[in-house]
Amino acid sequence: MKEHHLSAAPAVRSTPSTPHQSLATGALAERLGIKITEATAQRVVGTMPVAGNTQPAGLLHGGASAAFAETLASIGASLHAGPERHAVGLDLTATHHRPADSGRLTGIATPAHLGRTVATYDVTITDDQGRRIASCRLTCLLRP
């Protein structure tokens, strides 16, 4: 799948489960440099640079990895919800396993639970060497 750079304007993605689903990505995702490379309700993959997303010590900011995870999982939950409902984050947990100070991170969001009113996604964030940087979980309310 072609790599998509997120922008403040809604992007249209075509997936087998929800053709032509419109997803708003937002200014934060653009500011963080998040790019989506794959997006279905069953799997969302994206990348984010470490550069520009660091805390004063030069390491990846924990809030940046949390926002990255929430972006990926929210896209998956929105695709699961379909065009008549919206995914709204209820709970986000993030465990940071190791620091990152350079390179590009890859995040993969997969569903832990896909219900009628709630969707939960697990997100694994790894560095360029495939080492796990963070493990996150997002639960979204699926509302009309």
Task: Report helix, strand or coil for 86.
Answer: strand
Active site residue 70: yes
74: pLDDT strictly greater than 70 = yes
As a whole number, the mean pLDDT across the chain is 87
> How far is it, in rounded angstroms, from Cα 29 to Cα 6?
6
| Ramachandran area for residue 55 (φ above 0: left; ψ -120 to 50: alpha; else beta) | beta
User: How many percent of the chain have pLDDT more than 70?
Assistant: 83
The domains found in the chain, sorted by start residue, are 4-143 (3.10.129.10)
pLDDT in the model for residue 80? 98
pLDDT of the residue at 25? 67
pTM, to two decimals = 0.84
The pLDDT, as a whole number, for residue 26 is: 82
Alpha carbon of 117 to those of 20, 22, 82, 84: distances in Å? Answer: 22, 20, 12, 12
Tell me the pLDDT tens digit for each residue of 39-69. Answer: 999 999 999 999 999 999 999 999 999 999 9
Q: Which of 3, 38, 70, 84 is catalytic?
A: 70
Tell me the residue type at 93. Answer: T
Residues 4-34 pLDDT 10s? 444 333 333 444 443 333 344 689 999 999 9
Mean pLDDT across the stretch 109-117? 98
